[in-house]
Structure 1
Amino acid sequence: MNPHYILNCVKMEKLSILYRIWNEEEEIMLVLKDPGLRKLEKFIANNPLIHSTILHWTGSMWGIGCRLSSSETIARIETLKQRADKQGFIALIPDMSVLEQDKIPAPIRPLMNQYWPGNLTLIFNYDDPQFAGIKRGNKVALRVPSDPALRALISLLGEPLISTSVNVSGLMPEENYERIVRNYDSWFDFALLPSSREMKRPSEPSTIIEYIGSEESGSNDDIKCLREGSIPFYEIKQAFQLPVVMFVCSANICRSPMAEKLFRKMIREHNLGLATDSCGLLPGGRMISLESLQLLLERGIIDAEQHISKQVTPQLISSSWLILTMEERQRDLLRSAYPNNARRIWTLNEIVDEQGDIDDPFGNNLESYKKTCEIIEDRLRRLTEKLKNNELRI
Structure 2
Amino acid sequence: MQTLRISPSKIQQGEIEKIVKKLREGAVICLPTDTVYGLAVDAWNEKAAIKIYNLKKRTKEKPLILFIKDQRHLISLVKKIPLSAIKMINKWWPGPLTLIFKSAISDPWYLVNQKGGIGIRIPSHPVVNKILQENGLSLATTSANLSGEQSIKDIEELSPIIKEKIDLIVDSGKIPPGKESTVIDVTISPPRILREGEIKREEITKITKKPAGILFVCTGNSCRSVMAEGFFKKYWSKKQNKVEIKSAGTSVGFPSSPSSYTVQVMKERGIDVSPYQSKRVNQNLIDDSDIILVMEEVHLYYLKRTFPEAENKIWMLKEFTSNRKEGIPDPIGTSKAYYEKVADEIEGEIKKLIGKLSDN
Q: Please give the range of the TM-score, normalised by the shorter of the 2 chains.
A: 0.5 to 0.7
Structure 1 equivalent of residue 191 of structure 2: 223
Q: Which amino acid aligns with 1:209?
A: I
Q: 1:334 pairs with 303, 318, 340, which one? A: 303
How many residue pairs get aligned? The number is 300
Cα distance, 1:254 vs structure 2: 3.8
Contact 1:51 1:72 in 2 (8 A): no
Cα distance, 1:271 vs structure 2: 8.7
Instruction: Tell me if 1:151 matches 2:137.
Output: no
Pair 1:255–1:62, CA change in 2 (3 A): farther
Q: Which amino acid aligns with 2:330?
A: I
Contact 1:246 1:277 in 2 (8 A): yes
Cα distance, 1:54 vs structure 2: 0.9
Q: 2:293 pairs with 291, 310, 324, which one? A: 324
Q: How does 1:1-394 map to 2 (within 5 A)?
A: 29-31=4-6, 33-34=10-11, 36=13, 40-46=16-22, 50-56=27-33, 61-67=34-40, 69-71=51-53, 91-94=65-68, 106-108=79-81, 115=89, 118-119=94-95, 120-123=97-100, 129-130=109-110, 141-145=119-123, 148-152=129-133, 156=137, 159-163=139-143, 184=154, 186-187=156-157, 189-191=169-171, 208-211=183-186, 213=188, 221-225=189-193, 227=196, 228=199, 232-233=204-205, 236=208, 246-249=215-218, 254-255=222-223, 258-264=226-232, 267=235, 276-280=245-249, 288-290=255-257, 296=263, 299=267, 301=272, 304-305=275-276, 311-312=282-283, 315-316=287-288, 319-320=290-291, 323-335=292-304, 337=308, 338-341=310-313, 344-346=315-317, 358=330, 371=334, 378-386=341-349, 388=351
Pair 1:123–1:353, CA change in 2 (3 A): closer
User: Matches of 1:287 and 1:170 in 2, distance apart?
Assistant: 61
Contact 1:205 1:229 in 2 (8 A): no
Q: Which amino acid aligns with 2:66?
A: L
User: Matches of 2:205 and 2:131 in 1, distance apart?
Assistant: 25
**What secondary structure does 1:53 align onto?**
strand
Instruction: Show CA shifts across 1:129-160 (max 9, x none).
Output: 4259xx8999764324467524246965x750
TM-score in terms of structure 2 length: 0.53
Instruction: Give ranges in structure 1 of 5+ residues lacking alignment.
Output: 1-26, 79-87, 174-179, 194-202, 214-220, 362-367
**What secondary structure does 2:230 align onto?**
helix
Cα distance, 1:190 vs structure 2: 0.6
TM-score in terms of structure 1 length: 0.49
Pair 1:388–1:260, CA change in 2 (3 A): closer
Cα distance, 1:66 vs structure 2: 0.8
User: Matches of 1:310 and 1:345 in 2, distance apart?
Assistant: 16
Q: Which has the larger radius of gyration?
A: 1
Which of 1 and 2 has higher RCO (CA within 8 Å, sep 6+)?
A: 2
User: Matches of 2:223 and 2:181 in 1, distance apart?
Assistant: 36
Percent of residue pairs identical: 14
Pair 1:186–1:206, CA change in 2 (3 A): closer
Instruction: Show CA shifts across 1:199-235 (max 9, x none).
Output: xxxx99966422465xxxxxxx542245556985465
User: Matches of 2:336 and 2:207 in 1, distance apart?
Assistant: 31
Instruction: Give ranges in structure 2 of 5+ residues lacking alignment.
Output: 41-48, 159-168
What is the RMSD computed on CA atoms of the aligned residues?
A: 6.2
**What secondary structure does 1:162 align onto?**
strand
